[in-house]
Structure 1
Amino acid sequence: MSQTPRNVKKVATKKAQATKPAKRAAAKPASAPADAKTGYAAPDAPKPREFAKARIAIVATRWNVEIVDALVAGARACLLDWGVHDKRIHFHRAPGSYEVPLAAKLLLESGYDGVVALGAVIRGDTPHFDFVAGECARGLIDVQLATGKPVGFGVLTVNTVAQAVERAGPGVTNKGYEAAAAMLEMLRLRKELQ
């Protein structure tokens, strides 16, 4: 009569347990309910001094400057609201939206923790809009993937000036504000994973 040694049973049990799929932690629900109109749930509020030492660049285009400057004001307000020290927020201009990806890459490579990219591309009568808007967006994604650092996308791509003005208004619905908040959320994730 043969018996299986106890240690063999233990090893077999451990192997069986190791092949069971690990229980995944449930996704943390959004801290705030989603906005009824947009479906957007606001991110968790920053912890005190969470971003105090972050070095952030804002790069903004020279085209449609009144609209872009309103986006800059929104981005700056967000950064300050989230606790980024005023002296650690630096502002730079790019000639246009097509040049923003390179500006963002140069800024990130020079030591910034994140960049907020701002501009306003308004559709005209030619396909120029499609080329500029698409390449700017694609370029900024490439910059993030190449550097491993976050870029907040606040380059408006709209059909009319009125649409741009609406998206550059005061408050947390300002697309500059939203772009800065998105960049800080990704900066938070990057720090959590390091």
Structure 2
Amino acid sequence: MTDLRTIEGELQPGHARIALAVTRFNGFITESLLNGAVDTLRRSGIDDDAMTVVRVPGCYELPLVVDRLAGSGSYDAVVALGCVIRGSTAHFDYVAGECSRGIGQAMQRHGIPVAFGVLTTDTIEQALERAGTKAGNKGADAAGSALEMISLMRQL
């Protein structure tokens, strides 16, 4: 397979403008996701003045903001960060489903990378694990995905 032409993104795409849409709901989790994302972007050479943080009330509202950011022409990628923790009602299913669907639609509609850094967990403990403890930091992972996709899209 080594003879095949391969195109893949890099984690250091050069200059890039990134919007980070982060929810305030479950802020004790989402702030850790944001910190992980910003750290990854900085380590990849993205300057602070090329990053914009946009605060959103919750995950249900996240797709509207992501759609506006993606369509603005001001950013090379958007990183969506949030956290929905399952409770004893169907609320989780509606919020998580609409959030995921809307973010995916925004990416398709505007043709720029939107990294999905929204945790959907059964427990607070699982969320904490994915926000920087045992399971790494999914905000950092989302930022890395955004950077790689910027590089990949520039090559295509």
TM-score w.r.t. length of structure 1: 0.73
Specify the SS of the correspondent of 2:49: helix
Say what the alpha-carbon RMSD is for the aligned residues: 2.3
Q: Give structure 2 stretches of 5+ with no counterpart.
A: none
Separation in structure 2 between the aligned mates of residue 45 and residue 150 of structure 1, nearest angstrom: 14
Residues 112-146 of structure 1 deviation map (CA, whole Å, 9 limit, x = unaligned): 11111001100001001011101111111101100
Cα deviation for residue 183 of structure 1 reads 1.2
Structure showing the higher strand proportion among its residues: 2
Cα deviation for residue 98 of structure 1 reads 0.9
Quick check: 169-178 or 123-132, which moved more?
169-178
Instruction: Give the structure, 1 or 2, with the largest relative contact order (CA under 8 Å, sep 6 or more).
Output: 2
Residue 184 (structure 1) aligns with = 147
Q: Give structure 1 stretches of 5+ with no counterpart.
A: 1-23, 31-42
Residue 26 (structure 1) aligns with = 4
Change in Cα spacing, 1:145 to 1:96, as seen in structure 2 (3 Å) is: same
Separation in structure 2 between the aligned mates of residue 44 and residue 28 of structure 1, nearest angstrom: 13
Separation in structure 2 between the aligned mates of residue 191 and residue 172 of structure 1, nearest angstrom: 31
Corresponding residue to 2:61 among 79, 96, 99: 99
The alignment status of 1:153 with 2:116, answered yes or no, reads: yes
Separation in structure 1 between the aligned mates of residue 61 and residue 94 of structure 2, nearest angstrom: 13
Q: Stretches of 4+ moved more than 4 A in 1?
A: 27-30
Residue 16 (structure 2) aligns with = 54
Change in Cα spacing, 1:109 to 1:29, as seen in structure 2 (3 Å) is: closer
> How many aligned residue pairs are there?
154
Separation in structure 2 between the aligned mates of residue 99 and residue 161 of structure 1, nearest angstrom: 21
Cα deviation for residue 184 of structure 1 reads 1.2
Change in Cα spacing, 1:29 to 1:184, as seen in structure 2 (3 Å) is: closer
The alignment status of 1:89 with 2:61, answered yes or no, reads: no
Quick check: 157-166 or 184-193, which moved more?
184-193
Corresponding residue to 1:109 among 44, 47, 71: 71
Residues 57-112 of structure 1 deviation map (CA, whole Å, 9 limit, x = unaligned): 10111111011000000010111111111111110111110111110111122211
Separation in structure 2 between the aligned mates of residue 178 and residue 167 of structure 1, nearest angstrom: 10
Which structure's CA Rg is the greater one? 1
